Structure 1
């Protein structure tokens, strides 16, 4: 991996008619909030990434040892295991853990291995009053304390004092449960950086998983994540979005933290891309954005009558807030930015949460059990529910094979399922193509700004692997 000679970085490309995101946010009808005014504190300079790190088994093993065993990893949401005794497994490469609701508002994470002969204790989501090994019926309470060993007389050295299940650190934020196999790692809040403040009004803890899929992808976990860390690909991969999505006007920020970084990719909607032809207007872009949201989120709403002589984003933001309040019977005061745009917050190494009412997604990128050329891509649709009604149950994940269509298997994602399929179509080609590169120069040539988050993530990977 090589560093390119440093020079001034141009941070986006816009015009008076198609402004940069920072200009749009400065004119927000609700006023720019602290999250909108925040700027990253790191500019990476790491534009040549060695392709071997995407497929080399030795590099894959180093990642497992020095990243996945030492960072805070998104495991599940509290809503996934709503009853005491509920549990779900988490597989990270060859490593396996499971997370249990041990009391009404308490959770535990354990190594997924019986103390007797190593049998996996939790192979799928399940519920029971105890944790019981299927092989020889060794049994623990849901808080991990030993309850029973059949023929205990034959194991005199094991007692309730020394045979509890070994725990893995677990901490919570926003309804999300994170684990860390490193007992000496700094707390989760240190890793989250600005996210708790930026998401305070969004309140992910007061949402539910309306839909979820988990797809096997024929690409390394980094390649799959990198497909979403830049909007540069919109022009070629999602051309239907060019008239109403400002890809070249997007803003990228890297916020450093004690454990790594939080990266933010903020992409404006209701504004034409600089790649769009001259016929594309802000008014037309706002109307398309309204139609998309009506179709997906607010089917009972009447489309707005947006006046092109006035601020079209302010009018669209008002319509979206009104539609939200009518749908959920709860007030909302979020900015136009949160109602309209897509702000993706990436927490190193593998978790993404969208600060967006239009596209409220959660991403999780996980390495395959054994093969660096494969990974898992887990996507949740995190929605509010109607005030005064009970919280709906979390949707179970739809398993989607490497050659299966997301649009066909997960229709709840609407037109965005097609967008995901477009993204997925690129990834195997990237995984194959990087192996076919010129051996004299087997590395990427990344953009200085639009692909800066990819650069930053590889800087962090290098840092972790050097420890």
Structure 2
């Protein structure tokens, strides 16, 4: 068998094996609240970088469209009659009126101001009162010059990626090796099930990204996960601007826990990882194979609860007709944390993913953002429509409760922002367990520029630096 892509992470370095000389372990706090830094992010990062703008199945049929807002910019993303997804500046070429807001379906786009209309491919179709405006062929030289302004759009792993920079390099060039690592999960075949929420938060968009790039906070914020996860055993991979880490289920001293304790920690996983629910029946059958006549559970040498979870997960997904042949055993059980720069974080294990997507708030306040939270599930095709969870847009000032761990993070992130904006705190001091944050902020500095002088770390992102 050829090497599975995930093997590169299985063999990645532990914290104790890493050279920290290249990483800046102090991060300026001004980047979380300073208006000038927020402006530089807008111009140097967001207006030039590939970014996930939604899921392709949010617009499944020809004519389906959705608006993507970025600061004060608005883009129109639409599926054409040729099934291709395109992106356009959301403005009529006549006098600049916004064409659409929110989400919908249209056969064409007609400007509500003067009734100019455009096809799903962005081409100008008609103008009102052509006897006054002149024929399309004569009007401002050529009809083709007056189509909607197109922006680069590409799809990968079920996500629609948009880049406001019309001269952007291809998405595949930007993603690099991270694309190969994500492909075996079949994210494009997953659907939102159970949780699909977009909500405003009272914190900078980077606070959200930071929170999900380290397990150091588990001991304080998620004590119920301590028995099931050990961040000291994480393995790491840095791929240009992107990063991956894996957090194995089970503590480093797993052998110190009896079989029943191991089994019980796995039974508690659905509180945070709902996909484990469907695996548990097979897991319990495998456990029963190691019980004696009195029902006492005993593992022979080389067998652990984690190994049985891996076996149960692979067998459960294969029984549903899902192809997991390119996923490693650790991907059957362990969380793999993918950060697709700049703002897409995914906790993934075979058959499911929790997606965290943060964007700056359109009102321009650096202390606010929106986040999108989705549980993606890999289901057989005939089950997907019935189990798809529609997007829930939470009104400003309201809140929808999440599952336990995510609710804990929601509270802590906004609390952190209140501390970060204190003028007397000029930097954060990172620990070795926060190496992914050190890498992430070094990459950000490469795009945006540092708020104040800090030790350098070289980014390998594609394209010219600002």
Structure 1 and Structure 2 fold alike (TM over 0.5): yes
TM-score (norm 2): 0.82
Superimposed CA distance per residue, residues 292-347 of structure 1 (whole angstroms, 9 cap, x where no aligned partner): 34993335825521643323322121122233344x34453433311211111111
Any conservation in 1 of the 2:259–2:304 contact (CA below 8 Å)? no
Any conservation in 1 of the 2:335–2:347 contact (CA below 8 Å)? yes
Any conservation in 1 of the 2:5–2:180 contact (CA below 8 Å)? no
Any conservation in 2 of the 1:110–1:165 contact (CA below 8 Å)? yes
Gaps of 5+ in 1: 1-29, 411-416
Tell me which residue corresponds to 2:11: 37
Partners of 2:242 and 2:19 in 1: CA distance = 11
Superimposed CA distance per residue, residues 170-215 of structure 1 (whole angstroms, 9 cap, x where no aligned partner): 1122222211122222211112122222123211122222241112
Superposition CA RMSD, Å: 2.9
Mapping 1:14-25, distance limit 5 Å: none
Gaps of 5+ in 2: 291-297, 450-465
Any conservation in 2 of the 1:79–1:394 contact (CA below 8 Å)? no
Residue 337 of structure 1 pairs with residue 330 of structure 2 = yes
Residue 198 of structure 1 pairs with residue 143 of structure 2 = no
* Number of residue pairs aligned between Structure 1 and Structure 2: 419
Partners of 2:48 and 2:260 in 1: CA distance = 48
Partners of 1:243 and 1:126 in 2: CA distance = 46
- The structure that is helix-richer by fraction is 2
Partners of 1:240 and 1:105 in 2: CA distance = 45
Pick from 344, 348, 373: which aligns with 1:355? 348
Residue 109 of structure 1 pairs with residue 109 of structure 2 = no
Q: 1:393 to 1:76 in 2, by over 3 A?
A: farther
Pick from 405, 412, 415: which aligns with 1:429? 415
> Structure 1 residues 54-63 or 187-196, which shifts more?
187-196
Partners of 2:151 and 2:263 in 1: CA distance = 48
Q: 1:281 to 1:237 in 2, by over 3 A?
A: farther
Mapping 1:59-458, distance limit 5 Å: 59-156=37-134, 157-158=139-140, 159-210=142-193, 211-256=195-240, 261-269=241-249, 271-272=250-251, 284-293=261-270, 296-297=274-275, 298=277, 301=281, 303-304=283-284, 305=287, 307-309=298-300, 310-326=303-319, 328-333=320-325, 334-357=327-350, 359-369=352-362, 370-386=364-380, 394-400=388-394, 404-407=398-401, 417-436=403-422, 438=424, 442-447=426-431, 449-458=432-441
Shift of 1:35: 4.5
Tell me which residue corresponds to 2:460: none
Any conservation in 2 of the 1:50–1:442 contact (CA below 8 Å)? yes
Find the residue that maps to 2:147 and give its secondary structure. coil
Partners of 1:437 and 1:196 in 2: CA distance = 40
